[in-house]
């Protein structure tokens, strides 16, 4: 059970496919490790905002990290000292953060005497290993603690647990209204993409993907349909974002662009925070469930988000994301281009009365 009101999750599918014995064994194994290393006596239900905190995050996925640590936004402006220890691959994503002070990519870089307490995102085996080996004598608290299994809205969970652990006092309605993925960047990053921004309003789309089931391959159909709508000016200027795995798709889109649509590919050319700044200036972001989608949701730009049938949108999106979530009957390619175009047009129509977007 999730102990926080208003955090969406789906226990039934998990319980249907996973035995209670397996769940109990995982829980007992983690608790055994903590007991064996004499850590149970150091666990705290709450931490104080006056303490020097090292947040330990041991997962590697960019999208998960963006959601799981989103709740730190509640700590902004409180005068806290919070640093981050994460995997080296995540350091560039958080190195410009305005909540985390220092961002470490290896536990050997950390002087434990500089901290009063450890905050573990969850009690997974890598986190327990780091805690017991490098910070064995420091008190600690956990956000997700032993929670394992059922898919949940990680962003909402993060906000609710940070609110609880630091006794911030926000009610469930307030948290539901403000919860969204959170990132920050510095002026140099914002300035680095200024010359790449189109002169007229544009849409940013995310091409490619690591998971074939979450890689949309029908962009050319979508763009062809959008080109027929004269009242959707932003759809005539498209910037394609993504990593190297989206380059081939982007090249095909550029080569087959309708005569009245200009497409520019920036795939494989930008860091995540640079791509975020491009999205921050767009009228709309459109992309499938993945790291770039979650990064896009850290901006004020509305979006259309695509999900395969295993991932209900309500477990990935929040009200503050300002996103229309579309779910396929199978992989994301089962989402019809006409349905996607309809969502794009609705978002652009809602966007029209607003002022031009500014950098996040």
Tens of pLDDT along 97-156? 999 999 999 999 999 999 999 999 999 999 999 999 999 999 999 998 877 677 899 999
Claim to verify: residue 20 and residue 168 sit in the same structural domain:
yes
4 inside domain: no
357 inside domain: no
pLDDT of 145: 87
The pair phi, psi for residue 264, each rounded to 5°, is -125, 135
Claim to verify: residue 113 and residue 203 sit in the same structural domain:
no
| 0.95 exceeded by pTM | no
1 inside domain: no
Claim to verify: residue 145 and residue 205 sit in the same structural domain:
no
234 inside domain: yes
- Measured CA to CA, the distance from residue 132 to residue 34 in angstroms comes to 8
- The CATH number for 19's domain is 3.40.50.2000
Characterize 290-306 residue by residue with b for buried, 16 or more Cβ atoms within 10 angstroms of its Cβ, and e for exposed: bbbbbbbbbbebbbbbb
Count of the separate structural domains present in the chain: 2
- Measured CA to CA, the distance from residue 315 to residue 322 in angstroms comes to 14
Burial class for 231, CB neighbours closer than 10 Å (0-12, 13-18, 19+): exposed
pLDDT band at 189 (very low <50, low <70, confident <90, very high): very high
Kindly list the distances between the CA atom of residue 34 and the CA atoms of 20, 30, 39, 351, in Å, as whole numbers in the listed order: 21, 6, 5, 51
Q: For residue 46, what are the domain limits?
A: 9-178
Radius of gyration of the chain (CA): 21
How many alpha carbons lie under 13 Å from residue 329 in its C-beta half-sphere? 3
pLDDT of 104: 99
Long-range contacts of 25-28 (CB under 8 A, 24+ apart): 26/148, 27/146, 27/148
């Amino acid at each position: 059970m999730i102990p926080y009101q208003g955090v969406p999750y789906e226990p039934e599918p998990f319980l249907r496919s996973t035995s209670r014995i397996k769940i109990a064994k995982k829980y007992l194994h983690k608790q055994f490790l903590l007991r064996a290393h004499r850590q149970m006596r150091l666990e705290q239900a709450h931490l104080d905002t006056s303490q020097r905190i090292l947040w330990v995050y041991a997962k590697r996925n960019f999208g998960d990290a963006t959601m799981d640590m989103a709740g730190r936004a509640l700590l902004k402006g409180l005068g806290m000292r919070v640093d981050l220890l994460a995997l080296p691959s995540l350091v560039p994503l958080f190195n410009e953060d305005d909540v985390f002070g220092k961002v470490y990519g290896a536990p050997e870089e950390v002087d434990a005497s500089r901290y009063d307490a450890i905050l573990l995102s969850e009690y997974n085996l890598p986190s327990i290993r780091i805690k017991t080996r490098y910070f064995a004598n420091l008190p600690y608290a956990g956000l997700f603690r032993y929670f394992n299994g059922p898919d949940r809205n990680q962003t909402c969970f993060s906000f609710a647990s940070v609110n609880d652990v630091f006794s911030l006092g926000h009610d469930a309605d307030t948290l539901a209204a403000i919860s969204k993925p959170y990132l920050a960047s510095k002026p140099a990053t914002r300035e680095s993409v200024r010359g790449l921004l189109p002169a007229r309003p544009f849409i940013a789309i995310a091409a490619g993907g690591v998971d074939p089931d979450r890689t949309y391959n029908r962009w050319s159909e979508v763009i062809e349909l959008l080109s027929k709508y004269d009242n959707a000016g932003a759809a005539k200027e498209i910037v394609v974002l993504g990593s190297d795995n989206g380059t081939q798709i982007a090249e095909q889109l550029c080569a087959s662009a309708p005569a009245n649509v200009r497409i520019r590919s920036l795939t494989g050319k930008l860091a995540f925070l640079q791509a975020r700044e491009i999205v921050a200036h767009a009228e709309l972001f459109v992309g499938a469930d993945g790291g770039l989608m979650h990064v896009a949701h850290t901006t004020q730009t509305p979006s259309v988000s695509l999900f395969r049938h295993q991932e209900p949108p309500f477990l990935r999106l929040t009200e503050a994301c300002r996103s229309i979530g579309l779910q396929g009957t199978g992989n994301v390619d089962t989402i019809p281009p006409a349905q996607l175009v309809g969502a794009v047009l609705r978002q652009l129509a809602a966007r029209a009365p607003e002022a031009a977007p500014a950098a996040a």
